[in-house]
Amino acid sequence: MSENYKKISRAITALTTSAQNSTPPTGDVAEMVAKKAKVSRATLYRHLAKYPDLQTSYDSLKGPTLRVSRGDSLKVANSDDALKTIENLKKEVSALKQERDQISQTKNAQIILLWNECKRLREQINDPGENSGDNVVPMPKKRE
């Protein structure tokens, strides 16, 4: 094993021990491990990809993670929290879909109203009817 492997392994073990004795790490776990091991994050990620045992230890340090869309992740304390979080996300997605549908219906109604108003104005321009002369002043005749 390389020297960096040993450094990373010791850092993960130290952070895991401190997390068990107090509170779990918050913030960027990769940054904490790399700093403690005195290696770059790139080196850390290369070693995590190369050594499955390091990856397993690192994942246990991070704790359970719930993957959501677009690659984001949401940290949860346990499976009950994960289930509650999933239910809350489902409710929020449902509410957002309903709001989107209402906005779409409103837009469609506004488009129809504007279309009808344009149609009415075009008809009025093309067929002014009997009221057109009430407010029209005849132009004076040209002098010859």
Q: 10-58: per-residue pLDDT in tens? A: 998 888 887 665 655 566 888 888 999 999 999 999 998 999 888 888 8
pTM of the model: 0.43
- Do residues 115 and 107 touch, judged by C-beta distance below 8 A? no
**Confidence (pLDDT) at 26:** 61
* Predicted confidence band of residue 63 (pLDDT cuts 50, 70, 90): low
Torsion of CA 12, 45, 29, 72, to 10 degrees: -140
Assigned token pair, 108: 């469609």
Q: How far apart are CA 21 and CA 119, in angstroms?
A: 75
Q: How far apart are CA 36 and CA 4, in angstroms?
A: 12
Residue 23 DSSP label: -
Share of the chain above pLDDT 90, in %: 33
